[in-house]
């Protein structure tokens, strides 16, 4: 048996071509597009922008059968809805083209042209027809607007018209500039954003409103395993003393958490704190391990007993969806 990876990134050439067009513009969108094209990590790692044969070689060496491809960052929040939609469609179609070439190795978690609600609703429905579609990728905050803001409800309703996975992903820390120094934005800011998104999903009622959506929180929920008991205690205290709602009954069992992190000790903590059976395998490739996809597999093996590790590594992507969901892809017999 080989592992299935729910959290992997790729920028297809179709998407990069549209980014180059936007990079010629003045204003914030052009600035972000240029930053993407000059990004030291993205430009230095061939598998971000292509090198598919190398990606497949690394997957084979690690024993990874399939990856779900999703957008990472930097999101270009273009004010023009048509341009933003072009960017997103180019990404989704480019990933789908790769799935077409290797249907047994890749799937798609589609992006949406948020914050443009009408266009995002249309893309949510269109993307369901793309090869390898498994669900969606939603930023942990949408151009500084929280993930649970009421204005996104029509988008979530459209996404939930059929069962789907939804992975959240940081796009930089939600308070711009607060962690600009010392490498903090991505070292600690991104996990904080994971945590914020998870808490908002739990406390807002979104999980109950759209039960067809199975949400995946990356990086083991960010800081949630460390802070969960404090959060539950605080909710209870404020409920008793201030009369606020106690969200402690919000069900963590409605969320999935994936394993991408840098230490088996962190994974062990997450296994001890988070609900049983809610952790799935993810690599965050190629951010964390651009040249060694076997390390995330070893990390799971090092942290857990063999049976526990097998349960995480060999979870089939179809099994993550509700029973009424159409199959993501035909599994080999």
CB distance 253 to 198 below 8 Å? no
State pTM to two decimals: 0.88
Mean pLDDT of 296-325: 81
Q: What is the pLDDT of residue 325?
A: 44
Q: What is the pLDDT of residue 329?
A: 42
- Average pLDDT of the chain? 88
Mean pLDDT of 239-258: 80
| pLDDT one-digit tens code per residue, 28-46 | 999 999 999 999 889 999 9
Residue 324 confidence class, pLDDT cut points 50, 70, 90: very low
Residue 259 confidence class, pLDDT cut points 50, 70, 90: very high
Q: What is the pLDDT of residue 326?
A: 44
- Chain centroid to Cα 258, Å, comes to 9
Q: How far from 105 is each of 43, 45, 96, 153, 332, CA to CA, in Å?
A: 24, 20, 12, 33, 12
Residue 327 confidence class, pLDDT cut points 50, 70, 90: very low
Choice between 81 and 242, residue whose per-residue pLDDT is larger: 81
The answer to whether the Cα torsion of 115, 116, 118, 119 is positive or negative is negative
For residues 325 and 49, what is the distance between their CA atoms, to the nearest angstrom? 31
| pLDDT one-digit tens code per residue, 76-117 | 999 999 999 999 999 999 999 999 999 999 999 999 999 999
- Is the pLDDT at 333 greater than 60? The verdict is no
Q: Name the percent of the chain lying above pLDDT 70.
A: 90
Q: What is the pLDDT of residue 331?
A: 35
Q: Name the percent of the chain lying above pLDDT 90.
A: 60
Q: What is the pLDDT of residue 328?
A: 45
Q: Prior bond to 144 cis, omega within 30?
A: no
| pLDDT one-digit tens code per residue, 114-166 | 999 999 999 999 999 999 999 999 999 899 899 999 999 999 999 999 999 99
Neighbours of 294 (CB within 10 A): 15
Look at the block and give the residue holding tokens 């996990």: 191
- Is the pLDDT at 320 greater than 90? The verdict is no
Interhelix angle 13-23/27-37, rounded to 10 degrees, is: 130
Q: How far from 78 is each of 22, 86, 91, 175, 193, CA to CA, in Å?
A: 9, 10, 15, 19, 22
Q: What is the pLDDT of residue 288?
A: 81
For residues 136 and 112, what is the distance between their CA atoms, to the nearest angstrom? 8
Which domains are seen in the chain, by residue range?
3-13+51-320 (3.20.20.140)
Q: What is the pLDDT of residue 204?
A: 87
């Amino acid at each position: 048996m080989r592992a299935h990876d729910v959290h992997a990134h790729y920028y297809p050439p179709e998407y990069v071509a549209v980014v180059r067009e936007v990079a010629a513009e003045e204003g914030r969108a052009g600035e972000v597009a240029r930053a993407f094209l000059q990004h030291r990590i993205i430009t230095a790692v061939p598998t971000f922008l292509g090198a598919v044969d190398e990606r497949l070689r690394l997957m084979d060496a690690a024993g990874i059968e399939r990856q779900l491809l999703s957008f990472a960052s930097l999101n270009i929040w273009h004010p023009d809805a048509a341009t933003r939609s072009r960017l997103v469609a180019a990404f989704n179609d480019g990933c789908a083209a790769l799935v077409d070439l290797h249907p047994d190795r890749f799937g798609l978690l589609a992006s949406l042209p948020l914050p443009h609600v009408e266009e995002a609703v249309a893309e949510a429905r269109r993307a369901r027809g793309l090869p390898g579609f498994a669900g969606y990728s939603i930023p942990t905050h949408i151009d500084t607007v929280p993930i649970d803001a009421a204005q996104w409800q029509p988008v979530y309703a459209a996404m939930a018209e059929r069962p789907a996975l939804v992975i959240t992903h940081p796009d930089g820390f939600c308070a711009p500039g607060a962690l600009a120094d010392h490498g903090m934005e991505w070292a600690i800011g991104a996990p904080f954003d994971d945590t914020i998104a998870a808490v908002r999903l739990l406390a807002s009622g979104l999980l109950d409103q759209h039960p067809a959506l199975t949400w995946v929180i990356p990086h083991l929920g960010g800081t949630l395993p460390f802070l969960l008991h404090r959060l539950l205690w605080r909710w209870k205290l404020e409920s008793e003393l201030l009369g606020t709602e106690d969200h402690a009954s919000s069900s963590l069992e409605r969320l999935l958490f994936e394993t991408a992190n840098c230490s088996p000790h962190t994974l062990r903590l997450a296994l001890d704190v988070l609900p049983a059976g809610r952790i799935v395998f993810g690599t965050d490739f190629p951010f964390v391990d651009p040249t060694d996809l076997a390390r995330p597999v070893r990390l799971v093996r090092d942290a857990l007993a063999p049976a526990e590790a097998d349960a995480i590594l060999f979870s089939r992507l179809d099994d993550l969806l509700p029973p009424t969901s159409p199959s993501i892809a035909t599994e080999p017999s």
